[in-house]
Structure 1
Amino acid sequence: MKYFLILFFFVSQVAIAQTPLTYINSNGDKHLAGPFELDDLRKDTTYSGWFESNYARFQLKGEDTSWKSSFEQTEVEIYIGTWCGDSKRWVPQFVKLWNELGLDENQLKFTALYDGEEKYKQGPNAEEKGKQIHRVPTFIFKSEGKEYARMVEYPRNDLEKDLAQIAVGFASEPNYRAATYLLDLFEKEPMDSVWKNVNYHLGEVYSLVGKEVELNTLGYVFQYSDRMPQALLTFQFNTLIYPYSPRVFSSFGDALRISGDKEAAITAYQRVLALEPKHENASAQLKILKPD
């Protein structure tokens, strides 16, 4: 009886360990959160439909794939959102390419991040912390525990070419260069140092940014991970680069309001209404902040 109980406990613990964490988002949809196994995407009907259809989309084009041997000692950390269209599209295709190259699926480590405001693009145990994750999917290539390349959200060229370039040591620079610049900056320098050279940093970001959504998304990543000074500066940079965008001023206003700077928030919301008189969020917030 004693041995039966020990065996039952062991089997139960294994079963628990293999069960991925899920949550229901604000739309009522079930999603993964935290580390999970590839079979969770393949076998759970919540995800298997989009996984299989996008897996089938990829077809290996190159005849010479001798470069694949460079990945034999590589581990790839893959951060995804099962709620994210780009994750649904590119993660299955990446897995298909990996399989077509004859590489081991055990080299792929998957982590799912939340989509809600409280833990926006975060894992349940802060698995993304220190990894500079601001877009999903993010593929981090590691050798002996050290990152040597990454792909962010979607390929710079095409999936096969990007992987080949990584293999031969000439990886394309990841997407979202302005966001990467700020992530590196905030990791290396305290905010008082950043502010001393703020005009220089604004110029660098201006030269690298692609679209207004790049910094807007990054600002929310900072805001919802308790890095409000970084969020405020990111949103402010965005308003200076895109001075005619109601969206970026609305995001800046929200961050100012949350941080307790009422007067600056009012100014930001007024700018929103000057650009878009029927903007719902700005109108609603001004009624609260300035009821008269």
Structure 2
Amino acid sequence: MKQLQFAFAIFFTLTVMVNGQGQNNETSTKLLGEISKNDLTSLPYATWFTTEYDAYLPNAKTISEITNELNQYSILVFMGTWCGDSKKEVPRFYKLLEAANYPMHQLKVIAVDNERSNYKKSPTGEEKGLNIHRVPTFIFYKDGKEVNRIIEHPIESLELDIKNILTSNTYTPNYYAIEILQKLLNDPNQTQSQIAEQLKTIVTSETVFNGLGYLYLNDKEFNKAITVFTINKLLFPNNFNTYDSLAEAYDNSGQKDLALKNYEWAFALIQQNPIIVQLKNKIEKLKNN
């Protein structure tokens, strides 16, 4: 019985670790809605903003190459003051823009929530229709049209990623597979198995689609969530988290039998997790000595 309880505890811990972006305990003081640098340089946010801002050294050569073109773009940023990636990249982004003498009135920064009922949403809804599934997201507009975006963190560096967007625009952001998935989901001729087959070479982790599934789940779009989690399970059939997430979607939609079946599969798979196996071996070794 104790081993079963222990396995459940590990199961819960691992599930929390893989089901979302890095967060911290900054909840009661988080910023929401449109914000400015002044907000981020006030306490308690200044403790991380100033540290990252001061430490970052933009590449002067690349900055000089993008300055003139960058000024022709407006930029919309979505971030979370609770998000580790935002705490790293947003201060750097501000420093880069200032080094490029960017007209800051063309920058708009939106802080989104991490509460389950409003996950990655702003109180004033700026994220609606923009497919914000990871933060920070930096969206570049020219003449009112989106040109490209940097999602969560740069591929090379902020400077080089921006240079690519402004010049050749051959840039492919992180999580681009989500855009492909959403297009395939709109094709009535595509089955879930066919979609998974087309995506298997470009999706390297179950976390890519898991975050999207939870956005749908938190919005109570249960059918969409179940579809995304099912495709994720087809892509990663040996990963306990894909079954756990699918089970949660079934549970929330009132399909208890399917929820139970997937939770049982998740629990069976987690028994094979190297951490669980190692701990079981240690327990057995101590018992037998």
| TM-score, normalised via structure 1 length | 0.79
CA-CA distance at 1:69 after TM superposition: 1.0
Cα 1:26/1:263, change in 2 over 3 Å:
farther
Structure 1 outlier segments of 4+, above 6 Å = none
Amino acid at match of 2:241: R
1:261-280 counterparts in 2 under 5 A?
261-277=255-271
Tell me: higher relative CO, structure 1 or 2? Use CA pairs within 8 A at least 6 residues apart. 2
Show the 5 A alignment for 1:179-194.
Answer: 179-186=178-185, 189=186, 193=188
CA distance in 1, matches of 2:53, 2:201: 36
Higher mean alpha-carbon deviation, 126-135 vs 84-93, is at 126-135
2:196/2:232 contact within 8 Å kept: no
Structure 1 residue 163, shift from structure 2 partner:
1.1
Corresponding residue number in structure 1 for 2:53: 55
Q: Can you list the C-alpha shifts for 1:144-182, whole angstroms capped at 9, x where unaligned?
A: 221001000000111111111112132420101222222
Aligned residues: 249
Specify the alignment match of 1:176 in structure 2. 175
Show structure 2 runs of 5+ residues with no match. Answer: 1-23, 274-289
Q: How far apart are the structure 2 equivalents of 1:47 and 1:27?
A: 10
Instruction: Pick the aligned partner of 1:202 from 167, 192, 196.
Output: 196
Structure 2 distance, partners of 1:88, 1:184, is 31
1:217 aligned residue = 211
Query: Could you tell me the percent identity over the aligned residues?
Result: 32
Q: Report how far residue 39 of structure 1 moved.
A: 1.1
Indicate the residue corresponding to 1:154 in structure 2. Answer: 153
Q: Which residue of 2 aligns with 1:112?
A: 111
Counterpart residue number, 1:7:
none
1:109 & 1:231 partners in 2: Cα distance?
A: 30
Q: Distance in 1 between matches of 2:204 and 2:179?
A: 12
Question: Counterparts of 2:144 and 2:162 in 1: how far apart (Å)?
Answer: 19
Contact 1:149 1:171 in 2 (8 A): no
Which ranges of structure 1 fall in alignment gaps of 5 or more residues? 1-24, 280-292
| TM-fit CA distance, 1:53 | 0.8
Who is 2:9 aligned against? none
Structure 1 equivalent of residue 250 of structure 2? 256
Alpha-carbon distance in 1 for matches of 2:210, 2:52: 28
Give 1:246's match in structure 2, choosing from 225, 240, 244. Answer: 240
Instruction: Report what 2:140 is aligned to.
Output: 141
Structure 1 residues 139 and 171: alpha-carbon distance in aligned structure 2, compared to 1, 3 A threshold: farther
Look up the equivalent residue of 2:80 and give its one-letter code: G
SS in 1 for 2:215: helix
TM-score (norm 2): 0.80
Moved more, 239-248 or 131-140: 239-248
Q: Which position in structure 1 is the counterpart of 2:278? A: none
Partner Cα separation in structure 1 for residue 27 and residue 46 of structure 2: 18
**8 Å CA contact retained: 1:177, 1:208:** no
Distance change in 2, residues 1:34/1:184 (3 Å): farther
- Per the alignment, residue 12 of structure 2 pairs with none
Please identify, of 53-62 and 159-168, the stretch whose mean Cα deviation from structure 2 is larger. 53-62
Q: Summarize the Cα distance change of 1:59–1:273 in structure 2 as closer, same or farther, 3 Å threshold.
A: same
CA RMSD of aligned residues (A): 2.1
Q: Quote the residue 2:225 is aligned against.
A: 231
Secondary structure of the corresponding residue to residue 32 of structure 1: coil
Match of 1:45 in 2: 43
Residue 277 (structure 1) shift:
4.9
Deviates more, 1:173-182 or 1:55-64: 55-64
- The 1-side partners of 2:169 and 2:214 are apart by 32
Once the 2 structures are TM-superposed, how far is the Cα of residue 202 of structure 1 from its aligned partner?
A: 1.5
- Residues 162 and 171 of structure 1 are in contact (CA less than 8 Å); yes or no, is this contact kept in structure 2? no
Residues 176 and 210 of structure 1 are in contact (CA less than 8 Å); yes or no, is this contact kept in structure 2? Answer: no
Which residue of the partner structure matches residue 283 of structure 2? none
